[in-house]
């Protein structure tokens, strides 16, 4: 049920839009097709600076670039920055899996942190679960690559992504964007801005986004009753009609105070209500050995037992995921940013935020579903592997960051303190009893002990400082450090402690940075840097583990050439990764241990050119070489280094993107724009297991290199008598690529899901 707050916001927006006179003109856009590349301002060093003078490997996407590339949620930024991959994963429709500079994320555990940090309006998100929600109007996206431990802190070994939404404009305006697409896609975004009054201005944005889903479920509406198993905590769930669907309502409200004086204040509120189903999980094949042979025999017997035998290495339009139910996510956030400029040289800023989410992942057919029946002939449902997450995972966090910046002719300084506290509850490891392996009875007697939630409480305190000494007009020296203190409290239910086991851990870590920057000309900058980052330690299944640590050595160059018609940014790096937090499985318990080391090296290139007015083209290229030096696994009860046979997953050596865009004015009609994007991902392994004896199985879990192509044609600046309109036709995945996006070896079967097929539609936009 969607909330009344969203319904009220929706009504207010449309009423406000109706009251805006048609004679009000939209804000004038930047001159189109000037033949020069625009200057982009970023906050990669906690202060507003030109992208081209910041000695950080950062990709900044402006609002126009976001619109041109049709970015509508976090997944759409994949490949728009060198080496960045964002995709879905098994277990949750709301949690993105990311990879950047060899660091991957995606754990659904509330006590396990990720190595790529997410920020919304400079507010740190403690859990990635709340980062896949659709967003209001975006002003810019900054993708910082490599460890950002000094200024951005813990959990940024791979980098940081900061999404900035547009604040109030300070003038009366309205904008409506609408889209329709195949698979019953419908998208509407409406925004209303108020005029300034005594320094105050406000904006309200409402978003609705829905899609039917591209795969039909052959077994919809099947109910599973877990009331007795969970002592009433989890009750009934029902399988979904379609897979890959979504239904999103979101609202953002912003208030700004800026009267031209030294004090400025920004308040933002956002709320997202997201219902979705996971991608369709298919059985692709069977593993080697007795487990795979037994599973194959069960599938082969299904036609005679009344079950379904659905095994295919091709993307299917219909599957049977008879326990895959609706995922729900409710995300909210409040933030207040206050700043005071004592002078042009000294400013203080404080960013305080209260955020949280509630997520219910429901049922998950990890083993592919397929409506199997008990091979013993009882007629009961039979599962190779499935899990149930029928109680919400909840998280609440408070963050506060105080900053002071000082800029002089000789020295620039950024310093501050950061505080983070997080309270989370989730499903304890005892709920692994809901995983079915050859257990036909899905509703056994009540559990012998009462349900107790897993509880996690995390706190982090940090102080940081970074200074840049201007040795000459051409040479800068930068040094920085951050001291972080983390504390964790964790209570879990285990078979040995059915009433719960509480553990407390504390960590202290110092990150540092040293950079030399040289500018031979006003438009060319080169830098060399050494920096560190770490992922905080934690607790999994009541077993503690230590932090990961990474040290990176990087050189880079940024250049604006040919009268700012050509921009070339490049970086090369090598990183030492130690104390890898490796997930292990032993005696029925999943836990994490610091059992690995790795070396990572690579380079990144970004090129953008505007040779003539109205034409822009460019792209990026990244090479990542990830090599395990040590990786401990438990093999038959014996700890063994398997780094020689382990495949790094989700880490293609080569990724890239090319794009071209051309605009031309059409007299008395508007401006026609044509854009083509193509992204490339090289060959990568989808499962970490060593080589199979079967070449067919190795091919099955290897994602061959592929291109994805998107196209868009637009007619903008259409004059409607005082208002402006734009109409666009788009096609995503133009060649209808249907390769695997995810695969897993679950012990007896190999399962996976495929990427979204070709999507096409129409975008309409009106500004009043």
Over the stretch 384-401, which tens digit does the pLDDT of each residue have?
Answer: 877 776 567 889 999 999
CATH number reported for the structural domain that contains residue 555 in this entry:
2.40.170.20
Backbone angles phi, psi at 190, to 5 degrees: -125, 135
What pLDDT was estimated at residue 727? 97
Q: What's the pLDDT tens digit per position in 536-565?
A: 888 877 778 889 999 999 999 999 999 999
- Residue 514 above 80 pLDDT? yes
225 lies in a domain? no
pLDDT for position 441: 45
Span 471-495, mean pLDDT? 90
335: CB partners within 8 A, 6+ apart: 121, 123, 266, 267, 268, 351, 352, 353, 354, 355
Question: What's residue 437's pLDDT?
Answer: 42
Give domain status of residue 209, yes or no: yes
Q: How confident is the model at residue 571 (pLDDT cuts 50, 70, 90)?
A: very high
Query: Would you say how long the chain is, in residues?
Result: 768
pLDDT score of 746: 81
More confident residue, 730 or 6: 730
Top-confidence residue, 356 or 426? 356
Cα→Cα distances 7→88, 249, 703, Å: 29, 9, 44
Q: Considering the domain boundaries, does residue 598 fall inside one?
A: yes
344: CB partners within 8 A, 6+ apart:
407
Whole-angstrom distance, CA of residue 342 vs CA of residue 333:
30
pTM listed for this prediction: 0.89
Distance (Å) of CA 617 to CA 139, 608, 614, 632, 676: 22, 6, 10, 46, 9
Query: Considering the chain, what is the average pLDDT of its residues?
Result: 85
Residue 8, phi-psi category: left (phi > 0), alpha (psi -120 to 50), beta (remainder):
alpha
pLDDT of residue 15: 38
Q: Reply yes or no on whether the pLDDT at 648 is more than 90.
A: no
**Residue range 253-280: mean pLDDT, rounded:** 94
Cβ proximity of 73 and 84 under 8 Å: no
pLDDT at 430: 38
Instruction: Tell me how crowded residue 343 is: count the other CB atoms within 10 A of its CB.
Output: 9
On whether residue 224 sits in a domain, the answer given is no
Question: pLDDT per residue over 153-204, tens digit each?
Answer: 888 999 999 999 899 999 999 999 999 999 999 999 999 999 999 999 999 9
pLDDT in the model for residue 31: 40
Output the pLDDT for position 448.
Answer: 58
| Structural domain includes residue 723 | yes
Read out DSSP for 132-182?
SS--S-EEEEEEEES--TTTT-TT-SSEEEEEEE----SS-EEEEEEEEET
How far, in Å, CA of 386 to CA of 383, rounded? 6
Q: How far apart are CA 550 and CA 531, in angstroms?
A: 8
pLDDT of 184 reads 95
How distant, in Å, are the alpha carbons of 171, 366, 393, 491 from that of 454? 49, 22, 9, 6
Q: Mean pLDDT throughout 628-651? A: 80
For residue 381, what pLDDT band results from cuts at 50, 70 and 90?
confident
Contacts of residue 339, Cβ cutoff 8 Å, sequence gap at least 6: 263, 264, 265, 347, 348, 349, 350
Is a pLDDT exceeding 60 seen at residue 341?
A: yes
Burial 624-640 (b: 16+ CB within 10 A, else e): bebebeebbbeeeeeee
CA atoms of 752 and 284, how far apart (whole Å): 7
* Res. 5: pLDDT tops 70: no
What pLDDT, on a 0 to 100 scale, did the predictor assign at position 701? 87
pLDDT of residue 541: 73
Confidence at residue 406, expressed as pLDDT on a 0 to 100 scale:
96
pLDDT at 138: 86
In degrees and rounded to multiples of 5, residue 433 shows phi and psi of -60, -15
Q: Which two tokens stand for residue 462?
A: 């940090």
Residue 475 lies in a domain: yes
pLDDT of residue 16: 42
Pairing of strands 116-120, 159-165: parallel
- Number of compact structural domains in the chain: 1
Name the pLDDT band for 429 (thresholds 50, 70, 90): very low
Instruction: Report if residue 374 sits inside a domain.
Output: yes
Computed on alpha carbons and rounded to an integer, the radius of gyration of the chain in Å comes to 26
Q: With 60 as the cut, is the pLDDT of residue 745 above it? A: yes
Instruction: Identify the pLDDT of residue 107.
Output: 63
Boundaries of domain holding 458? 4-213+233-767
Mean pLDDT of 1-27: 42
pLDDT-based confidence at 586, cuts 50/70/90? low
pLDDT band of 643, cuts 50, 70, 90: confident
Exposed, middle or buried by CB within 10 Å (0-12, 13-18, 19+), for 323? Answer: buried
- Domain assignment of residue 218, yes or no: no
pLDDT for 681 equals 94
């Amino acid at each position: 049920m969607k909330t009344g707050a969203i319904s009220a916001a929706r009504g207010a927006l449309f009423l406000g839009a109706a009251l805006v006179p048609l004679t009000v003109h939209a804000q004038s856009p930047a001159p189109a097709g000037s033949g020069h590349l625009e200057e982009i301002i970023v906050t990669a060093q906690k202060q507003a600076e030109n992208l081209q003078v910041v000695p950080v490997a950062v990709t900044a996407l402006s609002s126009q670039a976001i619109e041109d590339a049709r970015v509508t949620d976090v997944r759409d930024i994949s490949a728009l920055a060198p080496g960045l991959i964002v995709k879905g994963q098994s277990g949750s429709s709301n949690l993105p899996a990311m990879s950047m500079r060899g660091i991957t994320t995606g754990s659904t555990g509330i006590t396990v942190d990720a190595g790529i940090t997410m920020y919304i309006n400079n507010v740190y998100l403690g859990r990635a679960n709340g980062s896949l929600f659709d967003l209001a109007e975006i002003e810019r996206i900054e993708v910082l690559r490599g460890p950002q431990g000094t200024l951005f802190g813990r959990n940024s070994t791979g980098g940081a992504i900061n999404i900035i939404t547009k604040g109030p404009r300070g003038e009366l305006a309205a904008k409506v964007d609408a889209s329709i697409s195949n698979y019953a896609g419908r998208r509407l975004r409406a925004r209303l801005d108020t005029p300034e009054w005594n320094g105050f201005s406000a904006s309200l944005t409402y978003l609705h986004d829905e899609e039917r889903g591209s795969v039909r479920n052959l077994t919809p509406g099947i109910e599973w009753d877990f009331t007795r198993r969970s002592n009433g905590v989890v009750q009934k769930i029902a399988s979904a009609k379609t897979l890959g669907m979504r239904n999103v309502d979101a609202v953002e409200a912003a208030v700004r105070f800026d009267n031209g004086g030294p004090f400025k204040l920004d308040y933002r509120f956002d709320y997202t209500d997201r219902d979705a189903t996971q991608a369709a999980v298919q059985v692709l094949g069977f593993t080697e050995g007795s487990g795979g042979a037994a599973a194959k025999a069960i599938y082969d017997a299904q036609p005679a037992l009344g079950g379904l035998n659905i095994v295919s290495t091709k993307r299917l339009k219909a599957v049977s995921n008879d326990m895959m139910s609706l995922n729900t996510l409710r995300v909210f956030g409040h933030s207040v940013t206050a700043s005071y400029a004592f002078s042009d040289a000294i400013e203080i800023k404080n960013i305080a935020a209260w955020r949280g989410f509630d997520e219910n992942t429901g049922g998950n057919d990890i083993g592919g579903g397929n409506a199997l029946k008990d091979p013993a002939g009882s007629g009961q449902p039979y599962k190779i592997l499935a899990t149930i997450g029928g109680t919400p995972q909840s998280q609440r966090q408070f963050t506060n960051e105080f900053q002071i910046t000082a800029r002089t002719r000789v020295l620039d300084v950024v310093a501050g303190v950061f505080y983070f506290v997080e309270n989370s509850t989730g499903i304890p490891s005892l709920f692994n009893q809901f995983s079915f392996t050859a257990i036909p009875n899905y509703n056994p007697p009540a559990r012998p002990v009462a349900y107790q939630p897993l509880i996690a409480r995390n706190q982090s305190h940090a102080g940081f400082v970074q200074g840049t000494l201007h040795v000459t007009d051409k040479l800068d020296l930068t040094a920085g450090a951050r001291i972080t203190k983390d504390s964790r409290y964790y209570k879990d239910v285990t078979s040995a402690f059915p009433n719960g086991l509480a553990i407390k851990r504390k960590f202290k870590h110092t990150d540092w940075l040293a950079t030399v920057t040289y500018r031979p000309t006003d438009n060319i900058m080169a830098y060399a840097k050494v920096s560190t980052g770490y992922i905080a330690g934690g607790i999994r299944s009541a077993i503690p583990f230590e932090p990961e640590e990474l040290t990176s050595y990087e050189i880079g160059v940024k250049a604006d050439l040919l009268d700012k018609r050509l921009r070339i940014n490049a970086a090369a790096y090598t990183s030492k990764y130690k104390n890898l937090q490796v997930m292990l499985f032993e005696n029925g318990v999943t836990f994490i241990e610091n059992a690995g080391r790795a070396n990572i090296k690579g380079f990144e290139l970004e090129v953008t050119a505007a040779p003539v007015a109205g034409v822009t083209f460019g792209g990026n290229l990244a090479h990542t070489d990830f090599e395990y030096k040590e990786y401990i696994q438990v093999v038959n009860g014996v700890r063994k280094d398997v780094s020689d046979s382990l495949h790094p997953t989700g880490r293609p050596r080569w990724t890239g993107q090319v794009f071209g865009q051309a605009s031309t004015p059409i007299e008395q009609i508007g401006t026609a724009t044509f854009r083509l994007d193509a992204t490339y991902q090289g060959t990568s392994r989808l499962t970490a297991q060593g080589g199979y004896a079967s070449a067919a199985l190795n091919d099955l879990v290897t994602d061959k290199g592929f291109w994805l192509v998107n196209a868009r044609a637009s007619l903008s600046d259409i004059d409607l008598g005082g208002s402006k309109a734009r109409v666009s036709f788009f096609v995503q995945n133009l060649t209808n690529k249907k390769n695997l996006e995810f695969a897993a070896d679950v012990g007896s079967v190999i399962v996976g899901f495929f990427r979204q097929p070709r999507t096409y539609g129409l975008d309409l936009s009106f500004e009043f």
